[in-house]
Amino acid sequence: MTTRKRLPRPVAADWAWQLRGACRGTEEAIFFHPDLERGPARQHRDDQAKAICARCPVIVECRRHALAAEEPYGVWGGQDEHERRTLITRRRRARRCERSLRG
């Protein structure tokens, strides 16, 4: 007999914020760059995506997810790949520093 303690918990609530995203129904190509896109074209596309994020009611949840999952591509929560990578790197360094101070 299976016990409830061993069953995974429902996760739908963890993702419900996505249903309220300002990006819903928007062409996803705005949020993810095509291969080899560089310079002004990429900046323009990122700016368009970030403008959508700026008016999003779940920007905080989206950003939190992207940082926790270390999303490698696209604009999430108003941050592009480079911005997220910078924050993730800082967070990792801070954790290493905390561990080394604890001994």
Residues 55-91 pLDDT 10s: 999 999 999 999 999 999 999 999 999 999 999 999 9
pTM over 0.85: no
Q: Domain residues of the chain, as ranges?
A: 38-103
pLDDT of the residue at 8: 62
Strand partners, 76: 79
Report d(CA 82, CA 73) in Å as an integer: 9
pLDDT of the residue at 70: 93
Vertex 50, ends 89 and 92: CA angle to 5°?
Answer: 10
Report d(CA 82, CA 58) in Å as an integer: 21
Q: Can you read off the two tokens belonging to residue 59? A: 């920007």
Q: Is 97 annotated as a binding residue?
A: no
Q: Is 23 annotated as a binding residue?
A: yes
